Amino acid sequence: MDLKTRALALHKKLRGKIEIASRAKIKSLKDLDLLYTPGVADVSREIAADKEKVYDFTNKWNSVAIITDGTRVLGLGNIGPEAALPVMEGKALIAKEFGNVDAFPICLKTQDKEKIIETVKAISPSFGLINIEDIEAPKCFEIVERLEDELDIPVFHDDQHGTAIVVLAALLNSLKIIEENTKAVKIVIAGAGAAGYGITKILSKYGFRNIIVSDSMGIIYEGRPLGMNTYKNDIAKISNHNRESGILEEAIENCDVFIGASGIKNLIDYKVLQKMSKNAIVFLLSNPDPEILPSQAQKAKNVKIIATGRSDFPNQINNAITFPAIFRGALDSRVKKLTYDMFIKAAEALANSVPKNKLSKNYIIPNINEKYFFDKVVGAIK
């Protein structure tokens, strides 16, 4: 059977990838007295007197809400909340399996920004962290910024922050392999959505200065008259300092690193990659279909390292590698806000966790099921 047939069969058999399990067992009425009424009333009184005790007496300390409106799911676009649910269940499954975090998929039947913000604020007392997921840009940025300001628990935007962490880690290790350990490399990013925005921000904050970002209207530069918004203006301020203009193919010429975050299948061909510099690094992040298949990208002999967002090719750059550890670290440290300084430390921890004797062009980043990096990334969030 092909992948589609097997995936459909498994999901139908499971009828959902997650479930609620009890930490306590009710074997007698005495157990019920303690776990529910009347004993639970005393627990509620304690929390009413000191709300911080909710972390001590309930599962808030380990609970994450995964929030989506289904407007930007994988590379599938606006498929709605019901169709988004299998993906959100997958995120919850990964959070539990790799981070022992209880994550709850919440797919909202509204695409209105203000309603989403108010709904998340209304349900926030039950959770220790909010994860915004698969909401279209630029709406997602506005939602995240508002929630960061108005909530007393951390907000993580996995499409933006999680992807950025893994990309920075993968890039740092790739530069070690090609022995080009410098921040002067020319980096071209295709896509200015959540992933492209987050990648641009983290690379800029880390110190990379020669970054060019392209969207559907071409290269982004300060003062571009068409297709701009607040967040693309932010990108323009921290990238393309020479104010280059033109199309993506022109930007790629002589660049050292290409990062695809466009969500567009077959965006480029190998002949475009041949215009890159020697020992080129190519990250093709769009899922499920990358900007170019690795088998095609390999035809460009100057390309040294290839990574994708998929698990069926070497070098998977996927936020699933890091978000369970970010959740765990944020919940354990009880930080009120996540910052790019934390994300950079997490990326460095992820990159440095790879043993020198294991690092190679086909192994620039740990696999999600490898445990050795987890505690190091958790420790970076504090």
Task: Clarify whether residues 136 and 229 are in a common domain.
Answer: no
Tens digit of each residue's pLDDT (9 = 90 or more) over 235-255:
999 999 999 999 999 999 999
What's the confidence (pLDDT) of residue 311? 83
Q: Would you say residue 182 has pLDDT above 90?
A: no
For residue 155, the enclosing domain spans 26-159
| Predicted local distance difference test score (pLDDT) of residue 3 | 84
CATH number of the structural domain spanning residue 141:
3.40.50.10380
Q: Residues 17, 60, 91, 201: which is the catalytic one?
A: 91
Average pLDDT over residues 176-191: 91
Tell whether 99 and 219 lie within a shared domain: no
Query: Of 308, 324, 348, which residue constitutes the final position of a domain?
Result: 308
- Residue 19 lies inside a defined structural domain of this protein: no
Residue 134 · residue 172 · CB < 8 Å: no
Do 108 and 230 lie in a common domain?
Answer: no
In a domain? residue 313: no
Determine the average pLDDT of the residues in 338-364.
96
Report CA-CA distances (Å) from 75 to 39, 109, 193, 292, 309: 49, 20, 12, 14, 11
Instruction: Mark which of 260, 275, 308 sits at the end of a domain.
Output: 308
Angle between helices 323-333 and 80-99 (to 10 degrees): 70
| Strand ranges inside 33-82, DSSP E | 63-68
Q: Let me know whether 273 and 165 are in one domain.
A: yes
133 and 182 belong to one structural domain: no
Predicted model pTM: 0.93
Same domain, yes or no: 128 and 205: no
Run of H or E residues at 48: helix 39-49
Same domain for 165 and 304, yes or no, is yes
- Do residue 174 and residue 149 come from a single domain? no
Final residue belonging to a domain, choices 308, 342, 376 = 308
pLDDT in tens, 289-309: 899 999 999 999 999 999 999
pLDDT band at 1 (very low <50, low <70, confident <90, very high): low
Q: What angle, 0 to 180 degrees and rounded to 10, lies between the N-to-C axes of helices 340-352 and 163-177? A: 40
Residues 105 and 168 in one domain: no
Question: Tens digit of pLDDT for each residue in 37-77?
Answer: 999 999 999 999 999 999 999 999 999 999 999 999 887 88
Residue 77, in any domain of the structure = yes
Percent of the chain with pLDDT over 90: 86
Tell me whether residue 349 is in a domain.
no
Matching residue, tokens 């019901």: 82
Q: Do the domain assignments include residue 291?
A: yes
Q: Is residue 104 part of a domain?
A: yes
Does 332 map to a domain? no
With contact defined as beta carbons under 8 Å apart, do 112 and 136 qualify?
A: no
Q: Is residue 374 part of a domain?
A: no
| DSSP states of 322-334 | THHHHHHHHHHHT
Domain harbouring 245, CATH code:
3.40.50.720
Arithmetic mean of pLDDT, 198-220: 96
Q: Is 36 a catalytic residue?
A: yes
Active-site residue, from 30, 36, 337, 358: 36
Neighbours of 218 (CB within 10 A): 17
What residues form DSSP beta bridges with 212?
A: 188
**How far is residue 77's CA from residue 70's CA, in Å, rounded to a whole number?**
8
60 is catalytic: no
Query: Are 167 and 285 part of one and the same domain?
Result: yes
**pLDDT tens string 152-178:** 999 999 999 999 999 999 999 999 999
What's the total number of domains in the chain?
2
Same domain, 199 and 247: yes
